[in-house]
Structure 1
Amino acid sequence: MPYGLRSIGQVLSVLKADFPDVSISKIRFLESEGLIAPERAPSGYRRYAESDIARLRYILTVQKSHYLPLKVIREHLEAMDRGEDPPRLEPVTGAAAAIEVPLPNAAGAVPQQRGAKRPIRVTRRELLELSGLSEASLAELERHALVSPRRGTVYYGRDALTVAVAARKLAAYGMDARHLRVVKQAAEREVGLIEQAIAPHLRRSQSPQQLAQEVMQLVMHAHAAIMRSTMPQ
């Protein structure tokens, strides 16, 4: 193999330290989408230059940290190919940020979160790639109504991605869609409780949605605290 070029297996070894979920199928998927174009040897084997690896690092980073759909990543790469700087992206802590709950202050009020999180709009194929779920696992989550596209569309949002990522990680502990169904049922009961609690205040509120969000965050905070205090020490 020419000096400076690597095989796909060697590229995988280089990337694994920073991106543990990367796989050969993932790299080939990105190639099939036209995001990378490694050199091909006469034998047909892919040969990756350092520029290909840098390109892969960029793709995997913005997927991991910002959940950008492939269409947007492609636009970034095209800008970079023209010699332009890619758009500046605000830091995102990952899927867990979608369920992060701010703590109430001394007066019991929940502080407003800094800036709205960027909406996520991904296809089913992108959801599978970003979450690392198998098609069968995603189908099972959908069968239990734990994950679904946004109403009236074929695209999935941030909550669907959060559940998908959590489901993949929980599978390592023997928890599957049936167990998460119990979590969904508990959440539905809590939503009913919140709706009942805020109903008398809706007419007086200038922002019913903000009122519902504040009460929901308080309930989520209490829920997390109760779970922590209930867990064996």
Structure 2
Amino acid sequence: MDILIVEDEAEIAQLIQITLEKEGFNCRISRDGNNALQIFQEQAPDLIILDLMIPHLDGLEVCARIRQKPGIKDPYILMLTAKGEEIDRVIGLSTGADDYMVKPFSPRELVARVRALLRRNLRQGGQNNGNTYRTRNFVIDLERHTASRQTDSQAIEELDLTTLEFNLLSTFVSNPSRVWNRSQLIDKLWGDNFFGDERVVDTHIARLRKKIEPDPTNPIYIKTVVGIGYKFEDLPIS
């Protein structure tokens, strides 16, 4: 697995690199935001460890730009900061970070967080038909790891989803009309490997809506159940 470390403090960057390379990861280091984006475009890593306060472009801007780039490998992002205020966590997660660590941290915790992010797989449940879930407008093929949607023009569109988005959509499509709260979705998708803020679920829901909803601002498939969570609505195959 390839990891990009974006950290302007040389000692911290080197500590992270040594710690993760001992665990078998391939690491590269970037000292500023512009260089990090350049490295990302040349060879996207599997995971980015991104400090919030870096030169030229800060971590929030780097994170937002990476998430906005279509057609490029979508890495997990673990954001680092010396700040511990709640607002910093919320802002970081809202830009697309998957997890959040406050400095100083222990090398053991860092390795645990990295491994947890890279192990994110869907723990499947419920009934399916030949490893395929179907509703009127969606087909999820678990074996081929593909998802498709019928568009308004009746064309079949294959969806370009990250692993987490695929797992999230699979969870919804396999349980239509079920209401999920954040804790249940976290348990389904990450299990005991989750360390972050529950509101990261909202970020991933928003990103998935942009890819499957005709109008993400007025969703017809993934609906918000006020005060509880989310549910998926689509007609079953008769």
TM-score (norm 2): 0.25
More strand by share: 2
More helix by share: 1
Larger Rg: 1
